[in-house]
Amino acid sequence: MTGRARAMWTEPLAAVLLLLPVASPAQQPSAPHASPTNPAPMHDMPGMSEHAMVMPIPMPAGMPMMPGLVGLAPGVTPFLPGAGLDLARLPAAKASAVVRLKNGDTLDLTATLVRRAIAGHAFAMYGYNGEVPGPLIRVPRNATIVVRFHNRIDLPSAVHWHGVRLDNRSDGAPGVTQEPVAPGADFIYRIHFPDAGIYWYHPHVREDVEQAMGLYGAMLVDSPDSDYYPPANRDAVLMLGDLLVNADSLIPFGREGPDFALMGRVGNVLLVNGEPDYALHVRRGEVVRFQLVNVSSSRTWNVSFGGAPMKLLAGDQSRFEREERVMSVVLAPAERYVVEVRFDRAGRVPLVNAVQAINHYQGEFVPEVDTLGMVTVDAAPVAPDYGRAFSTLGAHPDVSRDIDRYRGYFDRPPDKRLTLALATTALPLATVQFMSIDTAYYAPVEWVDGMPDMNWLSTSKQVRWVLRDDVTGKENMDIDWHVSAGSVVKLRIFNDPTSFHPMQHPIHLHGQRMLVVARDGVPSTNLVWKDTALIPVGATVDLLIDASNPGAWMLHCHIAEHLGSGMMAVLHVDPPAQGSGR
């Protein structure tokens, strides 16, 4: 629905399906009533429903719905926010406004239903203060602000201040730091910003619904150092999201739990700051500092500006040790990167997301390019011209010096180990058959949803994504790690490529900062502080956690449907006075 140049998947080869092996029962370890080789009738399968509303799912061109799945619907009650309301009576969503706050200021943040027009269709969706994205909160580093959150939507909610190393009580993690804020209720957050950079806020209740429907906003924390970033003619915050639409309707969510539990809900309408057609006008030679935030539930992006030169400055929580040239920017859900782009030729420059899809029928990789918007470059030259500064790659010894304290830990054996895996129960036979060959693709990242029918039908009742502690064997919320504040923890995460339907996972740790010190044993050579790290399929990633902020902190996959399917644990950072406990 966006202007997209997509290679068509035009050669259906259903016969290949007959040759597919069937997964061994061990790959669905906890199926209580049926095995993949001896399936129960569909109506006996927990979570499968034949009488729920059937909503045909948009399939990629040339890809038919699997015969074994036709007529099925996810075993959850279909739910769309604001269903039955008169759209005309909802206020139209406004664009994000910048709210500059200083130390001690208070902001009222209200989640409500709004009306949005996307690609010619009007939908009831959510917004903060009537805006999508929500207000852009701009604060100086070291400020503390108060946010009075008012929940006026039809679901419980809570606000998580993503990436901010704040007081645990304000982390917005229901079940860990607070109760969900009921519809009509309020909650007060006190947020301290110790690190400059780009952050974002979003709900931590059913984010598969609430975030996708528009509840997200950015926070820019300004350094007192006016030369923190190289000079740019302008700043632009780009929040990259997507929305799943079929014809003129949104695909409903599951009332009791997420659907699309396997791959996450991957939208087919790509949005920049909530809109499908991003537009920016600049002058020739202009340097634009783009602050990129991935707010989508599941999609990993690979964005670039038509070959225009890009310089990478910063990641989640800090600048890189060294600026470097990049051809594109890869962002997993919740990651942020700051890049400068110089538009040195007049004309139109597309902002594109260019990835490799997989044709699961044919075992082929298929290039897919989505145009997210257009930068129009005027012929008139910009003033001042920062071309010379742009061509220089700066180094940040202060970042390196800060990291120096931790380098002695880089090569130590891991303190903790996690394996990422999947357990499923009673998926449809057709899904099991098809997915059982998935490990043969060896794609470290699934950039698009190549099997939306199977994905849609999978719910959190049938799918449990797993973080497994290699030492204790404990999984997800049973893990319960304790370390004392001030510890440096080396966490090795292995994304098991032999598990059933392996997939990349962006692992997010609340309230602390961490370094990706190695991938597959290859040390990182240009470090940056992060709160979210992409763990590709088959990868072994070593994270070094600076566990300096006391409290109970969630560690979870930021694919909203994976989180909704159990993929979370808690890291307790105990105050030193209390000892390490366990």
Partner 1 sequence: MRLALAAAVLLAAAPLPAAHSGSTLSDAAGPYDIALFSTPTAPAARGHARLVYAPSPFGVAVTADGRARYDVQITASALPAPSTLGAFSSYVAWEVTPDLSRWTRLGVVAKGTSTVGPAELNKFLLVITAEADSMPAAHAGPTVLHGTSPSGWLQSFLTHPLFRGVAP
Binds partner 1 by CB under 8 A, chosen from 79, 228, 365, 386: 365
Q: Does 534 bind partner 1 (CB under 8 A)?
A: yes
Nearest to 215 by CA among 275, 137, 135, 314: 135
Binds partner 1 by CB under 8 A, chosen from 440, 473, 577, 581: 440
Q: Does 299 bind Cu ion (CB under 5 A)?
A: no
Q: Please, what sign has the CA dihedral across residues 87, 89, 92, 93? A: negative
Among 35-43, 134-142, 319-327, 559-567, which window interacts with partner 1 (CB under 8 A)? 319-327
Binds partner 1 by CB under 8 A, chosen from 520, 576, 578, 580: 520
Among 99-107, 215-223, 263-271, 361-369, which window interacts with partner 1 (CB under 8 A)? 361-369
Q: Which helix (H) or strand (E) holds 207?
A: helix 207-210
- Minimum CB–partner distance for residue 566 and Cu ion (Å): 10
Give 436 or 459: the residue with its C-beta nearer to partner 1.
436
Number of shown-chain residues binding Cu ion (CB under 5 A): 4
Q: Does 403 bind partner 1 (CB under 8 A)?
A: no
CB 187 within 8 A of CB 201: no
- Minimum CB–partner distance for residue 95 and partner 1 (Å): 29
Among 139-147, 315-323, 336-344, 562-570, which window interacts with Cu ion (CB under 5 A)? 562-570
Q: Which helix (H) or strand (E) holds 234?
A: strand 234-243
Binds partner 1 by CB under 8 A, chosen from 445, 477, 480, 548: 445
Contacts of 478 (CB under 8 A, 6+ apart): none
Give 240 or 332: the residue with its C-beta nearer to Cu ion.
332
Among 57-65, 148-156, 189-197, 359-367, which window interacts with partner 1 (CB under 8 A)? 359-367
Q: Which residue has the tokens 């279909």?
A: 78
Q: Does 116 bind Cu ion (CB under 5 A)?
A: no
Peptide bond into 133 cis (omega under 30): yes
Q: Does 528 bind partner 1 (CB under 8 A)?
A: yes
Q: Which helix (H) or strand (E) holds 430?
A: helix 429-435
Q: Does 168 bind partner 1 (CB under 8 A)?
A: no
Nearest to 477 by CA among 461, 466, 491: 466
Cα-based torsion angle of the residue sequence 91, 94, 100, 103 in order, rounded to the nearest 10 degrees: 40
Give 132 or 535: the residue with its C-beta nearer to partner 1.
535
Phi, psi of 165 (to 5 degrees): -85, 75
CB 171 within 8 A of CB 41: no
Contacts 24+ apart (CB under 8 A), 49-55: 49/73, 49/74, 49/75, 49/76, 52/76, 52/77, 52/78, 53/78, 53/252, 55/246, 55/249, 55/251, 55/252
Phi, psi of 277 (to 5 degrees): -130, 95
- Minimum CB–partner distance for residue 428 and partner 1 (Å): 20
Binds Cu ion by CB under 5 A, chosen from 143, 198, 251, 557: 557
Q: Please choose which of partner 1, Cu ion, none residue 439 contacts, taking the beta carbon within 5 to 8 angstroms, the exact cut-off set by kind.
A: partner 1
- Minimum CB–partner distance for residue 367 and partner 1 (Å): 6
CB atoms within 10 A of CB 480: 14
Q: Does 329 bind partner 1 (CB under 8 A)?
A: yes
Give CA angle at 504 (517, 176), nearest 5°.
Answer: 80
Binds partner 1 by CB under 8 A, chosen from 51, 442, 473, 582: 442
Among 178-186, 247-255, 458-466, 493-501, which window interacts with partner 1 (CB under 8 A)? 493-501
Give 217 or 241: the residue with its C-beta nearer to Cu ion.
241
Peptide bond into 384 cis (omega under 30): yes
- Minimum CB–partner distance for residue 556 and partner 1 (Å): 16
d(CA 273, CA 250): 18
Q: Which residue has the tokens 């799912």?
A: 57
Q: Please choose which of Cu ion, partner 1, none residue 557 contacts, taking the beta carbon within 5 to 8 angstroms, the exact cut-off set by kind.
A: Cu ion
Q: Does 473 bind partner 1 (CB under 8 A)?
A: no
Nearest to 505 by CA among 333, 348, 361: 333
**CA 61 → CA 288, 355, 450, distances in Å?**
36, 16, 10
- Dump the DSSP string for 21-45: PPPPGGGSTT-SS-BTTBPPPGGGS
Q: Does 562 bind Cu ion (CB under 5 A)?
A: yes
Q: Hey, is 248 helix, strand or coil?
A: coil
Token pair listed for 239: 């929040």
Q: Does 406 bind partner 1 (CB under 8 A)?
A: no
Among 101-109, 129-137, 411-419, 554-562, which window interacts with Cu ion (CB under 5 A)? 554-562
Contact map string, positions 88 to 117, toward partner 1, x by CB under 8 A: ------------------------------
Binds Cu ion by CB under 5 A, chosen from 505, 508, 510, 530: 505
Phi, psi of 524 (to 5 degrees): -75, 140
Binds partner 1 by CB under 8 A, chosen from 142, 328, 400, 484: 328
Q: Does 432 bind partner 1 (CB under 8 A)?
A: no
CB 399 within 8 A of CB 296: no
Q: Please choose which of Cu ion, partner 1, none residue 498 contacts, taking the beta carbon within 5 to 8 angstroms, the exact cut-off set by kind.
A: partner 1
d(CA 75, CA 51): 9
- Minimum CB–partner distance for residue 521 and partner 1 (Å): 3
Give 332 or 483: the residue with its C-beta nearer to partner 1.
332
Residue 56 exposure: Cα atoms within 13 Å on the Cβ side = 10
Give 209 or 568: the residue with its C-beta nearer to Cu ion.
568
- Minimum CB–partner distance for residue 116 and Cu ion (Å): 27
Q: Which helix (H) or strand (E) holds 455?
A: helix 452-457
Give 463 or 559: the residue with its C-beta nearer to Cu ion.
559
Give 369 or 485: the residue with its C-beta nearer to partner 1.
369
Binds partner 1 by CB under 8 A, chosen from 33, 100, 407, 412: 412
Residues that bind Cu ion (CB under 5 A): 505, 557, 559, 562
Kindly list the residues in this chain that would bind partner 1 in the complex (CB under 8 A).
11, 13, 16, 21, 24, 302, 304, 307, 312, 315, 320, 324, 326-332, 335, 337, 354-356, 362-365, 367-369, 411-414, 436-437, 439-445, 447, 492, 494, 497-498, 504, 506, 516, 518-523, 525-526, 528, 533-540, 542
